[in-house]
Amino acid sequence: MASDRLRRILAALSDGGDDWSSARLCGACPAMLSVSGSGIMLMSGDLPGGSLCTTDQRSELIEDVQYTLGEGPCVDAHQQGRVVAEPDLADPVSRRWPGFSPPVLEAGVRAVFGFPLAVGRARLGALNLYRDEAGPLTADQHADALVLADVIARWVLEAQAGAPFGAVAEELEVSADFHFAVHNAAGIVSVQEDVSVTEALIRLRAHAFSNDRPINDVAQGIIARTLRLS
């Protein structure tokens, strides 16, 4: 049964040709899983590293909010190594994302699901699914999403394997937003404040959230030397 499911999913993904891309993988998820949209978030350690791809404005918002706050379904799925589901953000069983939930709810997102991307001990990030109506995934949808997450994780590893050491594979950069300006700004803050780059990134996120500013705007201000965190 599992092999039949995998063959069906691989056949659907290959329908447009053999040259896969992150955009194709993201774009196939909504129709295949009967959800409203999807995104793929890559992680750096236990912190969001950036969005590999998104399908629409809502999924882009979901990824951006998670990147800025360091909380949400993808972050939890990656850190905990398990599927994280919230079938009704408006009436959650556990109020675990105080910063993430309000803005995505306001945008019309009602349910979110995070599926970890991992191959063996290599943890890469998470596949994010959302619905504009509340409700859980069916058993078949859940099983298909697990297979898709595994396929995506293996594709990411294979793509990155051909890249030069220390560089991101071209295939992964096509539709991605890795927030390079934010990482540059974190390096500057790290030197200015004599803290680790990880701590600097946390401070950047905290400043963006507390001032209700996009984290990229904050980063550009630091790079241009018009803003300095205290």
The pLDDT profile of the chain, 230 residues, written as one tens digit per residue, is: 468 889 999 988 887 666 788 888 888 999 999 999 999 998 877 777 788 899 999 999 999 899 888 899 999 999 999 999 999 999 998 889 999 999 999 999 999 999 999 998 889 999 999 999 999 999 999 999 999 999 999 998 888 887 776 667 677 766 666 667 777 888 888 888 888 887 888 888 888 888 888 888 888 888 888 888 87
Local structure of 42: helix, strand or coil: strand
pLDDT of residue 39: 94
CATH topology for 180-223 is: Arc Repressor Mutant, subunit A (1.10.10)
Local structure of 175: helix, strand or coil: coil
Distance CA 39, CA 78 (A): 14
Answer for the pair 48, 75: CB distance below 8 angstroms, yes or no: yes
Distance CA 221, CA 104 (A): 26
How far is Cα of residue 48 from the mean position of the Cα atoms in its chain?
7
Length of the chain: 230
pLDDT of residue 50: 82
* Token digits of residue 83: 């599927």
Q: What pTM was computed for the model?
A: 0.82
CATH 1.10.10 positions along the chain are 180-223
> Residue 169: which of 177, 157, 179, 180 has the closest Cα?
157
Distance CA 64, CA 165 (A): 27
CATH 3.30.450.40 positions along the chain are 2-170
Alpha-carbon distance values, 15 to 9, 11, 12, 19 (Å): 10, 6, 5, 10
> Residue 52: which of 186, 134, 162, 149 has the closest Cα?
149
- CATH number, span 2-170: 3.30.450.40
Answer for the pair 61, 103: CB distance below 8 angstroms, yes or no: yes
Local structure of 84: helix, strand or coil: strand
pLDDT of residue 116: 97
Residue type, 30: P
For 85, list phi and psi in degrees, rounded to 5.
Answer: -125, 135
Collect all residues with Cβ–Cβ distance below 8 Å to 139 and sequence separation of at least 6.
none
